[in-house]
Amino acid sequence: MKKPKMKEETRKKWDNFWYYYKYHVLAGVFILFCISIFVKDMVGKVDYDYTIACVGDYGVAQEDNQKLQKWFEEHAEDLNGDGEVHVEIADYSMPSDDSSNPDPQLVMASQTKLMVDMQEGTSMIYFVSEGNYGKFKEMGAFPEDWSTYKKAEECKGYEEAGSPVSIKGTGITMRSVGEVDDEEKREAWDKYYKASEMLMKEFVGE
């Protein structure tokens, strides 16, 4: 008879605990869940050495994205000193002005991401379509003379990367960088720009 009594007492204690502390327990579980997600994201987050921007008339296919990423990672240097080279291919593609029924939300999203990229100096190398070059040239973001842009498919790296058709017809260029007042930011941008310029020349075949 003692064992059932002990079980009953244990159950009552647990019911009493749960009645008074269930919200504390649930809150603790939720906090632990959030912490685990945060830690997982931080551990899995890639610290990219370079970001290469694509501002074409059409989106970059996943296969082409991987081809470009592989080529640039094989030819780039480790800028952050972590012993690995990681390159991100950022797709800011927007349809040309004569495109039929462009999605205004997608266009706005690409423009917003591109503006943030330019402001933060995320990308120094750009693959740009002639149509998008025309949209942004007045901002001084890219060199003015389109005839000086090397066509992607005429570059050595294009063939070596497996001829990623998504960037065919785009011109490769370095972005224009104006005056940067913050000294620390300017030094970081200068280092990144020079390394990116060498990488672009390698792709072009100079």
The percentage of the chain sitting over the pLDDT mark of 90, rounded to a whole number, equals 42
Closest CA to 196 of 64, 87, 62: 87
Across the range 15-37, mean pLDDT stands at 60
Asked if the model's pLDDT at residue 46 lies above 80, the reply is no
pLDDT, tens only, 158-182 = 999 999 999 999 999 998 877 666 7
Encoded amino acid at 199, one letter: L
d(CA 123, CA 132): 16
Looking at the domain 50-204, which fold is it?
Answer: D-Maltodextrin-Binding Protein; domain 2 (3.40.190)
Encoded amino acid at 93, one letter: S
pLDDT at 47: 84
Question: What is the DSSP-derived secondary structure letter of residue 58?
Answer: S
- At 43, is the pLDDT very low, low, confident or very high (cuts 50, 70, 90)? very low
Closest CA to 56 of 64, 45, 48: 64
Tell me the three state secondary structure of residue 78. Answer: coil
Q: Are 88 and 47 in contact (CB under 8 A)?
A: no
pLDDT at 42: 45
Asked if the model's pLDDT at residue 85 lies above 60, the reply is yes
Answering whether pTM is above 0.85, one says no
114 to 6, 119, 120: CA distances (angstroms): 68, 9, 10
What residues pair up with 87 in beta bridges, in sequence order?
50
Encoded amino acid at 43, one letter: V
